[in-house]
Structures are given as C-alpha cells and as structure tokens.
Amino acid sequence: MSRQIVLDTETTGLSAIDGDRLIELGCVELVNRKLTGNNLHLYFNAGRDSHPDALRVHGITTEFLKDKPRFEEKIDEIWEYLQGAELIIHNAPFDLGFLNNELKLAKRPPLKQCVANVIDTLVMAKEMYPGKRNSLDSLCDRLGVDNSNRTLHGALLDSELLADVYINLTRGQDALLMSEEPSDSLTAGAIAIPSLDLKSIKLPVLRANEQELGAHQDVLKQMDKSSGGKVAWHGFEPEAAA
C-alpha cells in the first residue's frame, strides 16, 4: 500500500528564524493515489500576530486563533498521522522549515524521523515547465484544476488543490481505474449495466500516415527539449519496418 500525505501550512510570516510561527496545518491523504477523506486540519495559537503581508494572504487573524491549541499540544496527533508516509509539498523547504522549528521548540526530533521521504512538487514543475510560472495557481490553470474557490490561501484547500495537481503532474495514470467492488452509492432501483466480454471483439489496427508520424516526431522533439535531453528513448534506435 502506497500512502502519501499532501501537506500545506500557513504561518505568521516568512521566517521561522526571525520568530515567525505556524498557525495552520492542512493534510490530505492519498492511498494508492486515491483520496481517502482521512484528512487532518488544525489551527494553532502562535502567541504572536501575523505580519500584515501574511495576513493579506491567508486572512487568519490573531483573534480567530486566540482559543486554538498550541502546536506542542497537537504534536502526538500530527506525528501519528504522518508516521511512515511520503509527503507531497509545494516548495517543501518552507513548510518543513516551519514544522521542524516547531518540533525543535517543543524539544522533539525533526520530521525526517517520522516520514518516509518528501516530494517537492515545485521542483517537479520546474523540471517539467522550465522558464514558466510554477506557483500553485499557475499549475492549476495549466493543468485544468479548478481553483475558483481560492480567494485566500488556506492550508487544507491548498492541499486538496495540490493533490489534484500532483496527480496531473504524474500523468494521472490511475485516474481511470475503477474498483471491481460495487459502489456504495449504488442505490436500490438503479439501472444495472450488463458487462460485456471484450475478448470476443476483434479491433481493427489503423496505421499512422506520414503526416501523423511527422506530428508525433515533433511532439517527441518538444518533450526532448523540455527535459534537457533526458528522455528515456535516447540511445535506442527504432526497429526497421517489417
């Protein structure tokens, strides 16, 4: 079983070294690349005001956080939830820096002792789209992910968007797989669709014409250029036509 946690944070400012603190944690669970609904969403009383620039981004006021728990009160819950998972984070050094700072202040070990490893989707995006804007909003626009509800940054919403972006960045290879188990949403009286044995059907094979082959080669050249010449097929010569 592959368990991944898409994670995002909101903070009082940009620098944990200068005393900024974590105020929100949002986590979305993927198991075998499927959303499970087992999410974790927490707010924290940081004991300090947010910088005005940060407040404009997330809109989380000190008054709202006044009755929320301190981070150290929730460490055990967070640690248990993240245990053994692969983290997916956009601009991972920022979020990990704040999380590790909070753990350090609570005299706890760093996060690397809890999780399996970390995937930084910003690094992935820069490799796939060099020279382009690769913020979360830009990736949502580029990959067709609906972010119309994102008027302010929020850790849980951003994690949900990033989960969709990550599936698209990794080509969504499991997106079309359907469970063989009957759906829980199938209610009494629903129309049953009979199964069809596809083994009895012989599909015609349509060969690509010269124009289509040329277009295919153009796509391969573009992929080769965008990857910096690191495509897997380099070094392999095409087989001679029969």
Question: Which domains occur in the chain, in start order?
Answer: 3-169 (3.30.420.10)
| Residues 143 and 175 sit within 8 Å (Cβ to Cβ) | no
Q: Give which of 48, 51, 43, 50 is closest to 67, Cα–Cα.
A: 43
Q: What is the pLDDT of residue 197?
A: 58
Tell me whether residue 153 is one of the annotated catalytic residues. Answer: yes
Whole-Å CA distances, 156 to 6, 104, 204, 230: 9, 24, 48, 35
Report residue 61: phi and psi, to 5°.
Answer: -85, 160
What pLDDT score was predicted for residue 195?
Answer: 54
Indicate if the alpha-carbon torsion angle 93, 81, 39, 144 is positive or negative: positive
> Which among 25, 110, 2 is positioned nearest to 74, based on CA atoms?
25
- CB distance 140 to 161 below 8 Å: yes
Parallel/antiparallel/unpaired status of strands 86-89 and 117-120: parallel
- Taking only the tens of pLDDT, the chain with its 242 residues reads 799 999 999 999 999 999 999 999 999 999 999 999 999 999 999 999 999 999 999 999 999 999 999 999 999 999 999 999 999 999 999 999 999 999 999 999 999 999 999 999 999 999 999 999 999 999 999 999 998 888 778 999 999 999 999 999 997 444 433 334 444 444 444 444 455 555 666 667 778 888 888 888 877 777 777 667 766 666 555 554 44
Q: Which residues pair with 89 in a beta bridge?
A: 120
Q: How wide is the angle at C-alpha 32 spanned by C-alphas 121 and 81, nearest 5°?
A: 75
pTM over 0.75? The answer is: no
Q: In one letter, which amino acid is 54?
A: A
Residue of 51, 58, 153, 216 marked catalytic: 153
